Structure 1
C-alpha cells in the first residue's frame, strides 16, 4: 500500500494560500498591462474606442474581452493588435485570475 502521508512537497494548499497564490500570479500578469491601463486600471488605453476604464468592467466582462482578444474576434480600436499579442499566451486560468484581480483594483 502506498504511503500518502502529507509531506512538505505534497501538502494540500489551504483556500487562503491558494487565493494568495492566484492574486500574486494575477498581480505579476497585470504588470504587463500597467503601461496602457494604469496601476489601478484607471487609464484609458491609447487608441481605444469608447473611453473604457477596465476597472469599471465586471470580472466576466474582463474575461470575455481577454478571450475575444486571444481569439482575435474582438477589436475595440487601434489597440487590438497590441491586445492580440498580450493575450496570445494567456491560459484560461490566467484570464480568470486577471478578471478577478482587475475587477477588484479600486474596491
Structure 2
C-alpha cells in the first residue's frame, strides 16, 4: 500500500514538472518571437502583455483563435496558425508556464 502511494505521488509530481517543461519548450518555439522571452512584450506594440495571465484565460483565448472565433488586433490568422498546432494538453502546459512568469516588473 505505502509503495503504491509513493509511486503514485512520484508519477504525479513528475507529470507536473513534465508539463511545465513542455510549456516552456512550446513557448520558446512559437510564442516568444512576438511576446518576448518572458511574455513581457506587446506584440508589434498593439497586443496586451500576457505575462501573468491566468492559465484558464490563456487556454480560452487559444481555443478561440484555434476555432477561428477570435481575431484581436488583426492577428487572428497568425494566432490560429499557431494554435491549431497545439493539443488541449499542450495549450494547458504553455498556459501554466505563462501564468508562472508573473506580471512583468515596470
Name the structure where helix makes up a greater proportion of residues.
2
The ranges of structure 1 where at least 4 consecutive aligned residues each deviate by more than 3 angstroms after the TM superposition are none
Which structure is richer in relative contact order (CA contacts within 8 A, separation 6 or more)? 2
Where in structure 2 are there 5+ consecutive unaligned residues? 1-6
2:81 pairs with one of 70, 80, 85 = 85
Secondary structure at 1:22 match in 2 = helix
- Quick one: distance in 1 between partners of 2:82 and 2:44? 15
- 1:23 paired residue number: 20
Asked if the contact 2:52–2:100 (Cα under 8 Å) also holds between the matched residues in 1, the reply is: no
Where in structure 1 are there 5+ consecutive unaligned residues? 1-10
TM-score, normalising length: structure 1: 0.79
- 1:96 paired residue number: 92
Q: Kindly provide the CA deviation profile for residues 29-63 of structure 1, in whole angstroms up to 9, marking residues without a partner as x.
A: 10110010011111001264xx4111142111101
Larger Rg: 1
Q: Root-mean-square deviation (CA), in Å?
A: 2.0
TM-score, normalising length: structure 2: 0.80
